[in-house]
Structure 1
């Protein structure tokens, strides 16, 4: 099996955190999004990891060489923003007849048993992983007849289906899938000037291919600051790890402190991850992600996301307040 990971894209919804780094290198629960994804792929036998990058591709290469030096990786640059299907098609030179493919988009950390792929796909040509959602109007959804997908509807007005596509796909015939994308591009089947995978899958379904829509256990969105914090909370459940230097602190589980972080005289947690090199003193922090090499002092932070090398210094207050006073200190 080969895995295609499209990691191009500006990550505009995560700005300013993606001004200087690829969006897949944003951290959550002590690891980058990409690290979470690649670790999940270790459950299956992936022969080659094929990355579709943009001008930040060197960052991805350096990260993979450092964190996963034993993995075979290939890199292709998407110079034109022509959509996700176009990005996947760029992997074509690495896909040979007989290859099966797993396509993983990097806005999402998934929780599912990838080892079950072969069994799930025994009577189908591919899997389009899904998750039942209440706000189906925000997503492209799979419409089923029995076990198989018969239609895909983008942001339906009516609840024709609540099975949202989550950006995780398995194809038995990888070369045939790449050919179908190329046919879709040749036919000019775009939405607002970009090529999307639902058009490719509907072309394949019309040609007689069968796709199932297995549900994943959890769909963890990392595309926006608020959803990144939600994912941080989910991934920290049951993970109270203190590897750094923590002195005279109250820790409210779960908290993840990396080796090389220093925290003194503070209240930390719940749901806080602190990266290496950060120093926190005399602060109260909850539901937050504190990235590498930060300096935080005399502050109260909640639902906060700090990038790398941030210096955030407050100051203690001195007060002389009489009886029966009402003090409101707005942030």
Structure 2
């Protein structure tokens, strides 16, 4: 199996955190988004991980070399921003006859058993993983007829389907898939100047290929600050790790304190992750992500997202308040 990971993209919805780093290297629940994804792919024992990168590609290469040195990784730069299908097409030289392909986009962390792929795909040509959602108007959805995908509708006005595509695709015939992408690009089938995979899949379905839409157990969006915090809460649920130095502090589970982090005289949690090298003192923090090498002193934080090497220092307030007063500090 070859795994294609398109990790290019500016990650504008996560700014300012993506001004200086690739969006897949943003941290959540004690690991980068990319580390969460790769750890879920490792059981597949893929022959090659093909990364489609942008100008931040060296960051991805350095990270993979450090965290997953045993994996066979190759890197191709997407110099033109022509859409997801164009990004996947850049992997074509690495995909040969007989290779099956898994395409994994990096805005989301998925929860599903990928080792079931051979069984799920026994009677079809590919899998377009899905998740049933209430707000179907926000997504591209799969329309099923007798358990096979018959149509794909982008942001439907009516509930023709609630099975949203989650950015996880499996193709039995990887080389054939790449040829269909090339045909779609050659035909100029774009949406607002970009090439998208649903056009490719509908071309394949029109040629008689069959796709199923298995549901994943959880679909964890990491594309913007509020959903990143939601994902942090989900991944921390049931986990409580304190590997750093904690002094005279109360930790309200679940909390993740990484190795090398220091917490003194604080109340931390629930749903807080603190990365290595950070120092938190005299503070109350809940429902937040504190990235590496940051300093927080004398603060009360909720739903906060702090990047690397942030210094956030407050001060205690001195007050002289008379009877029957009402003071609301938001």
Using the size of structure 2 for normalisation, the TM-score is 0.99
1:130 matched residue in structure 2: 130
Q: Structure 1: where are the runs of 5+ without partners?
A: none
Following superposition, the deviation at residue 217 of structure 1 comes to: 0.2
State how far apart, in whole Å, the 2-side matches of 1:94 and 1:220 are.
Answer: 29
Residue 222 (1) aligns with residue 222 (2): yes
Provide, for residues 13-32 of structure 1, a one-character-per-residue CA deviation record: whole Å limited to 9, x for no partner. Answer: 00000000000000000000
Provide, for residues 239-277 of structure 1, a one-character-per-residue CA deviation record: whole Å limited to 9, x for no partner. Answer: 100000000111100000001100101000000000011
Following superposition, the deviation at residue 45 of structure 1 comes to: 2.0
For 1:1-331, list aligned pairs within 5 A. 1-330=1-330
Other structure's SS at 1:42 match: helix
Following superposition, the deviation at residue 233 of structure 1 comes to: 0.2
Provide, for residues 34-65 of structure 1, a one-character-per-residue CA deviation record: whole Å limited to 9, x for no partner. Answer: 00000000121211000000000000000000
State how far apart, in whole Å, the 1-side matches of 2:33 and 2:328 are.
Answer: 39
Following superposition, the deviation at residue 148 of structure 1 comes to: 0.2
State how far apart, in whole Å, the 1-side matches of 2:325 and 2:143 are.
Answer: 61
State how far apart, in whole Å, the 1-side matches of 2:300 and 2:8 are.
Answer: 35
Other structure's SS at 1:17 match: coil
State how far apart, in whole Å, the 2-side matches of 1:240 and 1:130 are.
Answer: 30
State how far apart, in whole Å, the 1-side matches of 2:328 and 2:178 are.
Answer: 61
State how far apart, in whole Å, the 2-side matches of 1:74 and 1:93 are.
Answer: 11
State how far apart, in whole Å, the 2-side matches of 1:103 and 1:31 are.
Answer: 21
Following superposition, the deviation at residue 147 of structure 1 comes to: 1.1
State how far apart, in whole Å, the 1-side matches of 2:41 and 2:166 are.
Answer: 16
Runs of 4+ in 1 over 2 A off after TM superposition: none
Q: What is the Cα-based RMSD across aligned positions, in Å?
A: 0.5
State how far apart, in whole Å, the 2-side matches of 1:193 and 1:48 are.
Answer: 30
Q: Structure 2: where are the runs of 5+ without partners?
A: none
State how far apart, in whole Å, the 2-side matches of 1:219 and 1:302 are.
Answer: 24
State how far apart, in whole Å, the 1-side matches of 2:283 and 2:147 are.
Answer: 53
State how far apart, in whole Å, the 1-side matches of 2:308 and 2:38 are.
Answer: 22
Aligned residues: 330
Following superposition, the deviation at residue 329 of structure 1 comes to: 1.8
Using the size of structure 1 for normalisation, the TM-score is 0.99
Provide, for residues 47-94 of structure 1, a one-character-per-residue CA deviation record: whole Å limited to 9, x for no partner. Answer: 100000000000000000000000000100000000000000000110
Provide, for residues 200-249 of structure 1, a one-character-per-residue CA deviation record: whole Å limited to 9, x for no partner. Answer: 00000000100000000000000000000000000001110000000011
